[in-house]
Structure 1
Amino acid sequence: MRIIFMGTPDFAVPTLAALHDAAHEILCVYTQPPRPAGRGKKLQPSPVQREAEVRHLEVRSPTSLKSPEEQARFAALEADLAVVAAYGLILPQPILDAPRFGCLNVHASLLPRWRGAAPVQRAILAGDTLTGITLMQMESGLDTGPMLATARVQIERKNAGELTAELADVGAQLMVGTLTELQTLHAVAQDDDEATYASKIDKAESRIDWSQEAEQVERQVRAFAPAPGAWFEFEGERYRILSAECAEGGGAPGTVLDDQLTIACDSDAIRPITIQRAGKPAMETAALLRGKPIPAGTILS
């Protein structure tokens, strides 16, 4: 098929690679413009742009698709289909209508659960045991379009980074398989009454609230790993917990209970496994405590 690909982060890269490897004709790749990153704040191309350039594909990075001129450029490609994976721009109706078979989105949840920007993190925070990929025919609503295919994935104890990577690979294979049958598939409407919304993550949500139950704090750690990282403060310095386990123990929430940095929650406790001080590399908790002890009895904010 003649395909326009639209995506930006690492999550989208496997789908682009799989479509190209399957000998579909990638007419053009749309992605977000390079952004400042790193200590030097140099402009860095998106992961999708880097993949597209390695494969010698044309890349376009408009800041908006609202202008008639940009919409005409898109339509002039005469695509059979646009495949969209975490692109990051709203697609106006003329864009949705331009390809012969419309626009097909790779969404990282089992719709209609977790429509919106942060489905992986919201599924972990909610304690869901199951998530997956939905391939959806795009329309003007937020992830409301009819569904063409789904694939299920167990969440288990995976963090957001691990789960996103797994879902990206599942989505890529599901897309390739679905396109072989696209003209015979019948899309299924979503049940709006069952919809939940995965709102964008606010940085304030990553600060640990020790008055929660230990199990919820552990979910918070997994939902925000590897970034932005669930964190607490000690002596004015920020510490990010990148992995943790629930442990037995009790005390006032936020109290350090022993020399392993077991921390009391509303019920039971959390024991960090991997932790990171501001500006330092991540390390095992035991190694961190050898250089920066946090004594039992300390009360963390």
Structure 2
Amino acid sequence: MEFEPIWELPIALYLFLAGLGGGAFVTASLLAWKAPETKAMQRAAHIIALVVVGIGLVLLMTDAKAGLLNPLRFVLLLVNFGSVMTWGVVFLAAFMVFDLAVVVLDVLKRAIPTWLQIAGSVSAVLVGMYTGALLGVAHTFPLWNSALLPPLFLVSALSTGAAVVFLYGALAAPREFERTGWVQRAHYFLPVIETVLVASLLFITFYNGDAGHNSVMALVAGKFSLMFWLGFVVIGLVGPLVVETALLFVVDHSFEQTSAGRGVVAATNACVLLGGFLLRYLVVMAALPVTMVVPFM
């Protein structure tokens, strides 16, 4: 019997976009702290975060069958606080309110209060962690029901959020991008942490019964193996880590200020974005449930 997943591409996209938006906002806050002159990059990060999280929220409500055709489901999605999905909507809505306020202040060229930056960053972190907790409510899926998933998705969210901001900076605001050295160095460690968390998740899940074993095997040696090894590991994780290592510790810093260097940086961060999406897609699609056998009485 072939298993049909309960969640598919829309939820994978939601998980990716929500985390991306939260990570972009946190990156903007770090830039405001360590490189306050990067106004264009910060403004772009806030707008990107608002747009992608808004799209993610629509995908979440659509997948929950909540909307004009079923208004009762929409109401329950907002008031059923015993549901993890409801808390996700709360976190997303709070984040969007904070981010919208920041975008308005950006447009008006007003100073953004520190408390608003902090509140937005806290809600962004909650959104990033929630995207992992959402899958964990399905207790019969060993690949999802893991305490490692929320921190893994949070680290990936911070990494992809920084990547989209750096991608914008390298292409549209190169002079500001040159001033982001401290934030780039902080971002460098995220793929390292992500690698450790992914390896730990797969190792623990592999020994968590037949369903866990088969889920991991589907990733590393089965139907998703090419996408996992080539798409996620090589292109989305290890490749960018190798390039960033070379840019930080081997190649002269002036290389990043050339058009070729900015192209390399842009391509590297695009690969990080691909890896972030594939991580969520593969986790969603490869998970298998524990098979329950009920004997005849």
TM bracket, shorter-chain basis: under 0.3
- TM-score, normalised relative to structure 2: 0.23
- TM-score, normalised relative to structure 1: 0.23
Larger relative strand fraction = 1
